[in-house]
Amino acid sequence: MKSNIILALTGLATAVMARTEIMLPLYAGPGGIFGSAEWNATIDAIRANPDMHFYVVINPNNGPKNTSTPGNGGSCNLPGPDYIEHGCNKDYSTNLARLNALPNAQTVGYIYTRYGDQNNRSIDSIKEDIAEWALWDNATTWNFNEIANISIHGLWFDETGTTIGNRSEYEELTSYAREVFANTGPSPRNQFSIIMNPGSNPQTDYEPFLFAMADAVITRETCWTSVPSDPSDPSGDCIGDYTPYDYREMYQGLGNRTAGLPNDPELNSKAVVIVHQVVDPPEANNQTLYEQILGTVRLGVHSAWFTSGNWSQETRLPASVGVVGEFFSRANREVNGG
């Protein structure tokens, strides 16, 4: 864009807003040969919004281990100590291939890291998951044993530690990941993203190091509401220590858990916002949802996600994947023009 070049040349590049893309934790099951309602809705939204980039986090079993049960697919090699052969679960193979066929979808593998507590989860066991994700390449699907592409193009490190004492562990893990994925050969799209989820701001002294190892960092994961939902529908509940989301209350960090933006404003373009349980009250409807999405795009963050349910309800209104995709596309156009 011409105006960007002119601004950059006049030293005002920071005035140009980056786009805010979609960071979607798709933890719902993929369904079988026909796809689940959640994966279908996701695929439809990705198709309907070709200007948006969708990072899609895949999480079969709190990570890639044992992605199938014997009997599903019928021909799983029973595991070594921990793994059922990847690609053996034809439900995942069939539907991952549908995602990989979309030019604006980037599949990302889930890994949990227990906030750097190595007694809880060792570096070696996390490396096993990284190595396993890197092996996902071709697999047979339900479609008459067609060979399909189930490759993964990034990693989501969940439960990321937030203090400087975590630096060496996460540096070791992320350099290992970049090495292992580089060995799988360059993909035509050349995509590999490391996304870290501390869910809140890291401490100020750790921030530059954490952001340097990652492509994106979730600095704010929270709920829309703190009001408990109808007891018959606990999925609407915000469980945990969350302050309800309002983009107007996002400010540059100082390591404050509730701040949401990094301490260093230069890092906003790597920060990610995730808001779940977008339900009443306060009013959750198209208008309030769009207001919050537009305000979030104006913050200049890397990517974001809003959902009316927990991690596995992509069709629940108002913040279904279709509506959220459309609203982010519209908000990016409103902020950046065009």
Ligand X SMILES: *[C@@H]1O[C@H](CO)[C@@H](O)[C@H](O)[C@H]1NC(C)=O
Residues 66-95 that bind ligand X (CB under 6 A): 66, 79, 82
Which position among 187, 281, 282, 333 is part of the footprint of ligand X (CB under 6 A)?
187
Q: Which is nearer to ligand X, 4 or 233 (CB)?
A: 233
Q: According to the binding rule CB under 6 A, does residue 280 interact with ligand X?
A: no
Q: How far is CA 251 from CA 58, 230, 248, 259, 261, in A?
A: 30, 32, 8, 5, 6
Q: How far is the CB of 64 from ligand X (least distance, A)?
A: 9
**Minimal CB distance to ligand X: which residue?**
165
Q: According to the binding rule CB under 6 A, does residue 326 interact with ligand X?
A: yes
Which position among 311, 314, 321, 329 is part of the footprint of ligand X (CB under 6 A)?
311
DSSP H or E segment with residue 228: none
| Site stretch for ligand X (CB under 6 A), options 18-26, 33-41, 224-232, 264-272 | 33-41
CA separation for the pair 337, 237 (Å, rounded): 37
Q: How far is the CB of 120 from ligand X (least distance, A)?
A: 4
Q: According to the binding rule CB under 6 A, does residue 163 interact with ligand X?
A: yes
Q: Which is nearer to ligand X, 14 or 62 (CB)?
A: 62
* Binding letters toward ligand X, positions 235-274, x by CB under 6 A: x------------------x-x-x----------------
In DSSP notation, 153-192 reads -EEEEES---SGGGHHHHHHHHHHHHHHHHTT---TT---
Q: Applying CB under 6 A, what is the total number of residues that bind ligand X?
A: 38
Produce one character per residue of 48-70: b if its CB has 16 or more CB atoms within 10 Å, e if not. Answer: ebeebbbbbbbbbeebbbbbbee
Which residues lie closer than 8 Å to 89 by C-beta, 6 or more apart? 60, 67, 68, 72, 73, 76
Which position among 161, 253, 262, 300 is part of the footprint of ligand X (CB under 6 A)?
161
Which position among 13, 143, 286, 334 is part of the footprint of ligand X (CB under 6 A)?
286
Q: Which is nearer to ligand X, 290 or 303 (CB)?
A: 290
Check if the beta carbon of residue 156 is closer than 8 Å to that of residue 272: no
Backbone angles phi, psi at 37, to 5 degrees: -60, -40
Strand-strand pairing, 138-140 and 216-223: unpaired
Q: How far is CA 293 from CA 22, 35, 275, in A?
A: 11, 28, 10
**Token duo for residue 270:** 């790597």
- Among 214, 113, 117, 200, smallest CA distance to 158 is for 113
Q: According to the binding rule CB under 6 A, does residue 222 interact with ligand X?
A: no
| Site stretch for ligand X (CB under 6 A), options 10-18, 182-190, 268-276, 292-300 | 182-190
Which position among 4, 69, 138, 226 is part of the footprint of ligand X (CB under 6 A)?
138
DSSP H or E segment with residue 330: helix 321-336
Q: How far is the CB of 15 from ligand X (least distance, A)?
A: 26
Q: Which is nearer to ligand X, 159 or 336 (CB)?
A: 159
Contact residues for ligand X, defined by CB under 6 A: 34-37, 40, 65-66, 79, 82, 100, 114-116, 120, 137-138, 149, 151, 161-163, 165-166, 187-189, 235, 254, 256, 258, 286, 309-313, 323, 326
